[in-house]
């Protein structure tokens, strides 16, 4: 879908000291002229997914390992400390600056499309509006991450040169821009794509991300309205896959459960620069795999195993999601009917001990090692997530727990999961009140969506990072939260170099 040729397009002015133009290098003045230029510019914006600061690699350390789901035992101490809220060097590249840079370069590329494409003549205005809609979606997606991680930043809505000094925008202004972009994107995008375009942003992706933005601001009525559009298209555009594992391999990508996924593959095996061989693989798997197979920098917290095993499915066996999401010493005993090996190996007592490894998205289902070129697409938003968010919105807007449980039960009773409905489970008391239901929903979400990058946003939305009671709950599951300072660590420090380069227009976050 994403042509690598687009990554070679340089769209900024290029003049040497003698002011002589290089005729072989496109400039802003010579490039944005044709429909093909517009498409290449858009593909260059998509290509920012293939950078270390995104879901390709390091962003999972912020969202998975920074939450109570995971932790880091990396021998690279500074990397591990950034998952433990020990932020000393605010310019630590892999923990902070790389995200800021990759997000804002992504915004810059989207801004170029949004500035120059409207002036290009198209034979098909629908194609033009769809290019614009995709750029709006991508810009909103990056600003969403900035609002979640730093809660403020620069709000840049057109291409700027190197002399630009960014003005600081509040979290409220960032969310407002996300809303504006996604509303416009939804009006411009198709319901689905065909052929080589499958995987691009759709109306459903825009509405789902808009619903997430509304929910983070506790605008549940608005979020419910956006989610309704997807719910109404169950069994036509969207639905749950019978086999939970179909969502995490490279065999069943862009399926009916996918709302938006990042298109990874293992065809290119270069670095992550802007050249023809740049890597387009999913690199997180290398960092999460057990020692001897990968780097084992990221691991799962053991409490998840206990939560999965609290109830049996209707066949009297353990929740199959535990098998697919984690690998641990007793996994073969807990799942005697499943393959006891990982990457074709037995558990290595001397090397792995009592560790809990993250199996989700690993490539052990088809090969015996990890590298930087996993072919699995990353399912950024799944329909299961839509159902669970919709249930949350129902009770937050005055609906009954019985009504909301219908949508939770769809996820629980998926064919391969085969759990009882909430009403018929050991958690039936969750239907007794709004508060009880929401508390159970917090666990239902992590059992379904763990290590998919949404736990941190969920913890923020539920207020667990704002009170000592919430932090105490998280401490009971993850001792890293002993380092958490309320009012400080719910957001990252603004990179110091960005504060310095702004000439005082960007200011540090509270308590940093």
The DSSP-derived string for 77-136 is HHHHHTTTT----TT-IIIIIHHHHHHHHHHHHHHHHHHHGGGS--S-HHHHHHHHHHHH
Look up residue 239 and give its DSSP letter: -
CB atoms within 10 A of CB 418: 15
Indicate if the pLDDT at residue 14 is higher than 60: no
Query: From CA 226, how far away is CA 125, in angstroms rounded?
Result: 26
Question: What domains appear along the chain, each with residue ranges and CATH number?
Answer: 4-189+490-501 (1.25.40.390), 238-262+295-361+379-462 (1.25.40.900)
**Three-state SS for 470?**
helix
Res 16: pLDDT: 46
* Residue 112 pLDDT greater than 60, yes or no: yes
Strands (E), 218-300: 258-262, 298-300
Residue 395 scores a pLDDT above 50: yes
DSSP 3-state of 425:
coil
Q: Taking the CA atoms of 474, 378, 264 and 247 in sequence, report the sign of the dihedral they define.
A: positive
Q: What is the pLDDT of residue 28?
A: 84
- Cross-strand partners of 21: 15
Neighbours of 88 (CB within 10 A): 9
The secondary structure of residue 329, as a DSSP letter, is: T
Can you give the pLDDT at residue 10? 36
Position 20 confidence tier, pLDDT thresholds 50, 70, 90: low
Tens digits of per-residue pLDDT, 236-261? Answer: 999 999 999 999 999 999 999 999 99
pTM of the predicted model, to two decimals?
Answer: 0.95
Percent of all residues in the chain with a pLDDT value above 90, rounded to a whole number: 91
Q: Which of 473, 287, 459 is nearest to 372 (CA)?
A: 287
- Pinpoint the alpha helices (H) of 150-268: 171-188, 203-216, 220-231
- Give the pLDDT score at 9: 37
Residue 23, pLDDT score: 62
Does the pLDDT value for residue 5 go beyond 90?
A: no
Residue corresponding to tokens 């509270």: 510
Mean pLDDT of 422-441: 98
Residue with tokens 């996604």: 182
């Amino acid at each position: 879908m994403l042509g690598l040729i687009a990554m070679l397009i340089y769209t900024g002015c290029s003049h040497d000291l003698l002011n002589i133009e290089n005729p072989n290098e496109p400039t802003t003045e010579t490039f944005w002229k044709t429909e093909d230029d517009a498409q290449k510019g858009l593909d260059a914006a998509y290509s920012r997914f293939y950078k270390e600061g995104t879901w390709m690699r390091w962003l999972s350390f912020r969202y998975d390992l920074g939450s109570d789901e995971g932790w880091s035992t990396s021998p690279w101490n500074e990397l591990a400390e950034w998952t433990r809220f020990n932020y000393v060097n605010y310019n630590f590249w892999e923990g902070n600056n790389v995200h800021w840079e990759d997000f804002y370069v992504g915004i810059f590329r989207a801004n170029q499309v949004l500035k120059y494409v409207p002036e290009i003549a198209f034979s098909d205005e629908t194609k033009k509006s769809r290019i614009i809609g995709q750029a709006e979606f991508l810009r909103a997606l990056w600003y969403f991450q900035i609002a979640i991680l730093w809660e403020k930043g620069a709000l840049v809505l057109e291409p700027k040169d190197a002399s630009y000094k960014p003005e600081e925008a509040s979290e409220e202004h960032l969310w407002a821009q996300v809303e504006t972009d996604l509303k416009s994107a939804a009006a411009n995008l198709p319901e689905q794509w065909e052929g080589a375009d499958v995987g691009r942003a759709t109306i459903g992706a825009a509405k789902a991300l808009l619903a997430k933005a509304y929910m983070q601001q506790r605008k549940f009525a608005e979020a419910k309205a956006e989610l309704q559009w997807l719910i109404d298209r169950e069994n036509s555009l969207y639905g749950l896959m019978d086999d939970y594992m179909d969502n995490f391999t490279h065999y069943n990508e862009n399926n009916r459960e996918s709302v938006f996924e990042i298109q990874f593959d293992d065809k290119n095996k270069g670095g992550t620069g802007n050249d023809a061989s740049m890597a387009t693989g999913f690199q997180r798997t290398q960092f999460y795999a057990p020692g001897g197979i990968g780097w084992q920098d990221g691991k799962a917290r053991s409490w998840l195993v206990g939560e999965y095993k609290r109830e049996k499915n209707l066949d009297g066996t353990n929740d199959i999601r535990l098998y697919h999401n984690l690998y641990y010493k007793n996994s073969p005993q807990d799942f005697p009917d499943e393959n006891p090996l990982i990457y074709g190996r037995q558990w290595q007592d001397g090397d792995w001990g009592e560790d809990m490894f993250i199996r989700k998205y690993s490539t052990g289902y088809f090969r015996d090692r990890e590298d930087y070129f996993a072919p699995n697409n990353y399912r950024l938003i799944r329909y299961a997530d839509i159902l669970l968010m919709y249930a949350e919105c129902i009770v937050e807007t005055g609906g009954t727990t019985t009504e909301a449980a219908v949508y939770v039960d769809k996820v629980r009773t998926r064919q391969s999961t085969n759990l009882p409905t909430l009403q018929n489970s050991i958690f039936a008391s969750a239907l007794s009140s709004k508060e009880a239901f929401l508390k159970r929903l917090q666990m239902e979400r992590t059992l379904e969506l763990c290590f998919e990058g949404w736990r941190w946003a969920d913890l923020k939305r539920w207020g667990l990072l704002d009170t000592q009671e919430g932090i105490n709950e998280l401490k009971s599951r993850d001792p890293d939260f002993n380092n958490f300072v309320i009012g400080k660590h719910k957001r990252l420090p603004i990179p110091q170099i960005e504060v310095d380069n702004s000439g005082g227009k960007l200011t540090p976050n509270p308590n940093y």
